[in-house]
Amino acid sequence: MKKGLFLGLLAVCLVGTSTAQQKKQATKKEEVKPEEVRQVILSGFEQDQRFLWKLEQDESQKICSQYPSMEAMPAQAIQKVIELENKNITYPQWGIFWGDWKEGKKLVESSRGGRYASYGFSDKPIDKGGNCYACHLIEKGVPGGTMGPQLTGYGKRYGITKENMNSPESLEKLKTVYKIVYNAWHAFPCSSMPRFGYHGALSPEDVMNIATYLLHPESPVNK
């Protein structure tokens, strides 16, 4: 009887060990090399290679691709991206002055930014827009996304009023928001927010109009 009990326990242990090994093997992830991923993506351009240039990363993108998140990035890598992206910011020809918030509103609401013709492809986008509501809540009562910070009352939070909007302090705040919209990576490395100005999706004047829309006391954002 003791012998039978011993053999039974031994069988259970062996089965348990075998099952554990199978689970360990099943959960073990195979390492995928970057070049293998690149080759798979390249295969999608066999018919039309006009957008092949999109596979070439700039220096900041190469740094960001090394880490799963900004939180996982070492301070040195974060600082390097900030330095690179600050060099990629340009300003409107008239400098830092208030733009047209009504034009900015149109750009914010448009979801056609960077979109290519629906049937076939064209060399240039057919329209401009930021599609900002995809990620942000902006005007009160207007549905939007929550991936990015809420921008409702943005100018009020900055303390901008009709009386002080042309002061050096308010213009400096306008410049700060302009830079974030133009190239968010200069302040938030590897952010999900597109680098609108850097990639040419929006002109410096477009970006200034959007910044004005977000901050101007007469804009519906701040009503």
Question: Could you read off the pLDDT of 130-167 as tens digits, one per residue?
Answer: 899 999 999 999 999 999 999 999 999 999 999 999 99
- What's the whole-number mean pLDDT along residues 78-101? 96
125-134, 164-173, 210-219: which range is least confident on average?
Answer: 125-134
pTM of the model: 0.77
pLDDT band at 54 (very low <50, low <70, confident <90, very high): confident
Burial of 75 per CB tally in 10 Å (0-12, 13-18, 19+): exposed
Residue bearing the bigger pLDDT, 195 or 39: 195
- The yes-or-no verdict on residue 169 having pLDDT over 80 is yes
pLDDT for the residue 124 = 54
pLDDT for the residue 43 = 80
